Amino acid sequence: MKNNAMKDNRTELGKSHPLWMLFELVKSIKGFIFFCIFLSFVFGFSSTSIFSAYGISLIILFVIYQIVSILLEWKHFGYSIDEEELFIKKGRFVTLHRHFPLANIQGLHQNTTFFPRLFGLTTLLIDAGSSDKNDSIKLEMISFQEANHIKTTLSDLGKVYITEEENRKDIEKNSQEITSIKKHYEIKRREILIASLTSLRLLFFLTLIYSVYSEVNQFFQIDAYVGDIIGFFQSSWFRLTMGIIILICLSIVYGVLKTYLQYGEFTVTSDPYRIYIEKGKLNTAHFSIPKDRIQALSINSGFIHKFLNIVKVKMISSSDTDEDVKASHILFPFIHKYKAKKLIPEVISAFEIEEDMTKIPTSSIIVKLLRTIYLWLFFPVMLYCFFPGFWYLATIMFSLTLVSQLLSSLFSSYALNGSFIQIKKGAIATKVFITSRDKIERLMVTETILQKKLGLSSIKIISRARPAKVTTMHDVPKDMAIRYYSWYYEGIENHTTILASKQTS
Whether the pLDDT of residue 230 is over 70: the answer is yes
Backbone angles phi, psi at 105, to 5 degrees: -70, 130
> Residue 400 has what pLDDT?
85
> Residue 2 has what pLDDT?
45
pLDDT tens-digit series, residues 414-449: 888 888 889 998 878 889 999 888 888 888 999 989
Distance between CA atoms of residues 303 and 379, nearest Å: 24
Distance between CA atoms of residues 126 and 319, nearest Å: 11
Burial (CB count <10 Å: 0-12, 13-18, 19+), residue 406: middle
Categorize the per-residue pLDDT at 167 as very low, low, confident or very high, splitting at 50, 70 and 90.
Answer: very low
Spell 284-316 as b/e; 16+ CB within 10 A means b.
bbbbbbbbebbbbbbbbbbeebbebebbbbbbb
Q: How many residues does the chain have?
A: 505
Range 155-169 average pLDDT: 51
Categorize the per-residue pLDDT at 374 as very low, low, confident or very high, splitting at 50, 70 and 90.
Answer: confident
Cis amide leading into 467 (omega within 30): yes
Give the CA diameter of the chain: 89
Among residues 421, 411, 414, the alpha carbon closest in space to that of 351 is found at 421
Collect all residues with Cβ–Cβ distance below 8 Å to 152 and sequence separation of at least 6. Answer: 162, 167, 170
First to last CA, the chain: 34
Among residues 15, 170, 4, 177, the alpha carbon closest in space to that of 101 is found at 4
Spell 119-133 as b/e; 16+ CB within 10 A means b.
eebbbbbbbbbbeee
Half-sphere exposure of 330 (CA within 13 A, CB side): 19
Range 163-167 average pLDDT: 44
> Residue 505 has what pLDDT?
53
Of 151 and 412, which is predicted with more confidence? 412
Beta strands in 83-135, from DSSP E residues, in sequence order: 85-90, 96-101, 107-112, 121-127
Query: For 20-24, 259-263, 466-470, which range has the lowest pLDDT when averaged over its residues?
Result: 466-470
Whether the pLDDT of residue 361 is over 60: the answer is yes
> Residue 268 has what pLDDT?
92
> Residue 175 has what pLDDT?
43
Task: List, in sequence order, every residue forming a beta bridge with 420; answer none if it has no partner.
Answer: 417, 436
Burial (CB count <10 Å: 0-12, 13-18, 19+), residue 16: buried
Count CB-CB contacts under 10 A for residue 421: 26
Count CB-CB contacts under 10 A for residue 351: 19
**Most confident of the ranges 151-165, 172-186, 237-251:** 237-251
pLDDT tens-digit series, residues 26-48: 887 767 776 666 666 665 555 55
Distance between CA atoms of residues 259 and 172, nearest Å: 35
Distance between CA atoms of residues 347 and 229, nearest Å: 53
The radius of gyration of the chain from alpha carbons, rounded to an integer in Å, stands at 28
Count CB-CB contacts under 10 A for residue 107: 24
Distance between CA atoms of residues 176 and 247, nearest Å: 54
Residue 427 three-state SS? coil
Whether 142 and 14 have beta carbons less than 8 Å apart is answered as: yes
The structure's pTM equals 0.72
Torsion (CA) 189, 163, 111, 138 in degrees, nearest 10:
160
Beta strands in 91-200, from DSSP E residues, in sequence order: 96-101, 107-112, 121-127, 136-143, 182-186
pLDDT over 90 percentage in the chain:
6
Half-sphere exposure of 217 (CA within 13 A, CB side): 12
Alpha helices in 274-418 (DSSP H): 303-307, 323-328, 337-347, 364-371, 373, 379-386, 391-411
Range 357-374 average pLDDT: 87
Whether 116 and 134 have beta carbons less than 8 Å apart is answered as: no
Task: List, in sequence order, every residue forming a beta bridge with 296; answer none if it has no partner.
Answer: 316, 435
CA atoms 234, 240, 244, 245: torsion sign: negative
Categorize the per-residue pLDDT at 457 as very low, low, confident or very high, splitting at 50, 70 and 90.
Answer: very high
> Residue 371 has what pLDDT?
86
